[in-house]
A = this chain, B = another copy of it.
């Protein structure tokens, strides 16, 4: 048993992984500390009550009761086969929180939930309350059953529990379930297929990393290679008359042959995360090349400015290349999380800074928008544009903050990422330490420990002070130079370091001694960003960004509640940054002069006009517009919002 592992992803000693997560990582103050304080104090604390209310915990108790008193047992609560996973995700989040900050009440709550789960496990290791409570025959509905998906989340929770507390209580449950899965799935066994929803792959690799049990790695490999050969079909599953097609669950082509990310975005990215773990453990170059190709396809043609992915409401799917509507963006919070999972594993696998660039962008924008500032309201979808009176239907996932969802995958997923966040900040090994993300705190491993002080993302100064270093041994401290940053200075103990970044990394190599100070100043002016001409949906528009943050106009901030849909920017409009400590928990806003769009001709019956006779679109009245960070939108009164603002055309 490897008991030194911390965090959710920890390559084994055999892994072909140039980077390893830092063994010590604590976020102590600043932006993320505040978000994590709300996560622990409100979201996590209220989680069990939500899970009781939605019936998720009752399902486990009902299964246990079924064994002793079948008549007293109740049926399954909830609408989805995968309800158990909400419990597992909360549990995983709670364990990472405990690993960071001991909390007796939370620890007791965790043990209670572990007990409830353990009591529901069948003798042979099977565990999924939906099927145990009569929902059907286990392992006969691979497409929609979500049994391996739930198993994956249980394993991840168990690893968090083990890594946080040292206990093997839940890990035993997870191993028994994994062993049962291993007895059922495989060539010539009862089920020679995969699960409609990936997720078990990362979990099995990680279980292997902790237990050194090779069977788990082999099983993950089997699931990866079996996929893409059309073994899934809706037809076998009851109650699903809509066939989503093999692309939906990435069963249309083997991952090694795929050249596009397609289908359900969360499924695609959980699968790729698992493949990256496998590539690290096995050193499989072909697989790594496929992952690099697919990551690039995603980033260059299917990712929003916010880092969000999965543009279609239909089937929660990736769209065609460059199909990135701002208004009808699905951009599920869970897909942003899955993208971070995938990119972080690619950062570990390759050592390249670009993966952590995307992690940063997604964290601060597409992901964080999913969590309300109050810690108890959520967004499932994260559009980049909302009109004044949006037409939402009850069946839609709407762009309004909601206390919980009928399909509540996102809230506990946010919780576990925020709780595990320190793990994504730094890597350490014998050669030194790399800072992938910037947050005040302490990071270290393999003898080199530093203290970081910064007001990131509001300010671009990052001061790194060495707290501990090996004596008389040269080490490299690497700081990621964010791709958004056009100008920076780096000093070591006050002396400027010449030379730029190498492939995104600023490197300082020396025999560090405690007290050494490396200071990075990232110029952080507000800037206008324009899209590739291939992104049809936002042609002719610009977005305001500052540092890693994407900004948006919310109607409530504009003079006279002016609708952001009615404005246009001059391409050379000056951007001014304002500190606003009282607003939205303390933000910097960006103001910019804008003009009103030409008024519609009230007699015009038709919104398309002859180009030759089109009015030159005289800019009307000038107004001062105020942009706020996108992550903080939809926390005040309802109104329209937009990130992409039309640029006035020169004629």
Query: For A533, what are the chain B residues with a Cβ–Cβ distance below 8 Å?
Result: 568, 597-598, 617, 646
A592-651 interface with B by 8 A CB criterion: 597-598, 600, 604-614, 617, 644, 646, 649-651
Give chain B nearest CB distance to A618 CB in angstroms.
12
Evaluate whether A396 and B483 lie within 8 angstroms (CB atoms) in the complex, with A532-B608, A608-B531 already known.
Answer: no
A646 to B541, CA, bound (A): 13
Query: For A385, what are the chain B residues with a Cβ–Cβ distance below 8 Å?
Result: 536
Query: For A483, what are the chain B residues with a Cβ–Cβ distance below 8 Å?
Result: 605-606
Give chain B nearest CB distance to A407 CB in angstroms.
12
Evaluate whether A534 and B391 lie within 8 angstroms (CB atoms) in the complex, with A313-B313, A314-B313, A540-B539 already known.
Answer: no
Query: For A523, what are the chain B residues with a Cβ–Cβ distance below 8 Å?
Result: none
Of B317, B393, B536, B613, which is within 8 A of A326 by CB?
B536
Query: For A263, what are the chain B residues with a Cβ–Cβ distance below 8 Å?
Result: 391
Asked if A243 is an interface residue, CB under 8 A from chain B, the answer is yes
In contact, B395 and A245 (Cβ under 8 angstroms): yes
Asked if A486 is an interface residue, CB under 8 A from chain B, the answer is yes
Give chain B nearest CB distance to A621 CB in angstroms.
15
In contact, B609 and A530 (Cβ under 8 angstroms): yes
In contact, B300 and A328 (Cβ under 8 angstroms): no
Query: For A354, what are the chain B residues with a Cβ–Cβ distance below 8 Å?
Result: 605
Chain A interface main SS type: loop
A364-397 interface with B by 8 A CB criterion: 385, 387, 389-396
Of B393, B396, B610, which is within 8 A of A527 by CB?
B610
In contact, A534 and B565 (Cβ under 8 angstroms): yes
Size of the chain A interface, CB-CB below 8 angstroms:
84
Query: For A644, what are the chain B residues with a Cβ–Cβ distance below 8 Å?
Result: 536
Query: For A650, what are the chain B residues with a Cβ–Cβ distance below 8 Å?
Result: 649-651
A244-266 interface with B by 8 A CB criterion: 244-245, 247-248, 262-263
Query: For A318, what are the chain B residues with a Cβ–Cβ distance below 8 Å?
Result: 391
In contact, B486 and A610 (Cβ under 8 angstroms): yes
When C-beta atoms are compared, the residue in chain B nearest to A385 turns out to be B536
Asked if A405 is an interface residue, CB under 8 A from chain B, the answer is no
Query: For A486, what are the chain B residues with a Cβ–Cβ distance below 8 Å?
Result: 610, 613
In contact, A600 and B534 (Cβ under 8 angstroms): yes
In contact, A390 and B320 (Cβ under 8 angstroms): yes
Query: For A327, what are the chain B residues with a Cβ–Cβ distance below 8 Å?
Result: 319-320, 323, 536
A568 to B247, CA, bound (A): 32
Of B530, B538, B604, which is within 8 A of A614 by CB?
B530
In contact, A315 and B646 (Cβ under 8 angstroms): no
Asked if A574 is an interface residue, CB under 8 A from chain B, the answer is no
A317 to B396, CA, bound (A): 12
Asked if A79 is an interface residue, CB under 8 A from chain B, the answer is yes
In contact, B543 and A541 (Cβ under 8 angstroms): no
A538-574 interface with B by 8 A CB criterion: 538-543, 565, 568, 571
Of B241, B248, B314, B541, which is within 8 A of A314 by CB?
B314
When C-beta atoms are compared, the residue in chain B nearest to A650 turns out to be B650
Of B262, B395, B614, which is within 8 A of A244 by CB?
B395
In contact, B320 and A531 (Cβ under 8 angstroms): no
When C-beta atoms are compared, the residue in chain B nearest to A325 turns out to be B325
Asked if A529 is an interface residue, CB under 8 A from chain B, the answer is yes
In contact, B395 and A243 (Cβ under 8 angstroms): yes
Of B305, B614, B651, which is within 8 A of A608 by CB?
B305
In contact, B537 and A536 (Cβ under 8 angstroms): yes
Give chain B nearest CB distance to A421 CB in angstroms.
23
Give chain B nearest CB distance to A395 CB in angstroms.
4
Give chain B nearest CB distance to A295 CB in angstroms.
9
Asked if A285 is an interface residue, CB under 8 A from chain B, the answer is no
A543 to B387, CA, bound (A): 25
Query: For A529, what are the chain B residues with a Cβ–Cβ distance below 8 Å?
Result: 608-611
In contact, B262 and A608 (Cβ under 8 angstroms): no
Query: For A119, what are the chain B residues with a Cβ–Cβ distance below 8 Å?
Result: none
Asked if A116 is an interface residue, CB under 8 A from chain B, the answer is no
In contact, B79 and A241 (Cβ under 8 angstroms): yes
Evaluate whether A605 and B535 lie within 8 angstroms (CB atoms) in the complex, with A241-B79, A393-B244 already known.
Answer: no
A174 to B455, CA, bound (A): 76
28 A-B residue contacts at CB 8 Å? A244-B395, A245-B393, A247-B391, A248-B393, A300-B604, A300-B605, A301-B607, A305-B608, A320-B387, A320-B390, A320-B391, A321-B389, A322-B387, A322-B565, A323-B328, A325-B325, A385-B536, A486-B613, A528-B612, A529-B608, A529-B610, A530-B614, A536-B538, A536-B644, A540-B540, A540-B649, A542-B611, A649-B649
User: Knowing that A244-B393, A245-B393, A323-B387 are A-B contacts, what are 15 other residue pairs whose CB atoms are under 8 Å apart, sorted by A's residue number?
Assistant: A301-B607, A305-B608, A321-B389, A322-B607, A325-B328, A354-B605, A486-B613, A527-B611, A528-B611, A529-B609, A530-B614, A534-B607, A536-B537, A536-B538, A539-B541
* Residues of chain A whose beta carbon lies under 8 Å from any beta carbon of chain B: 79, 241-245, 247-248, 262-263, 296, 299-301, 303, 305, 312-315, 317-323, 325-328, 354, 385, 387, 389-396, 483, 486, 527-543, 565, 568, 571, 597-598, 600, 604-614, 617, 644, 646, 649-651
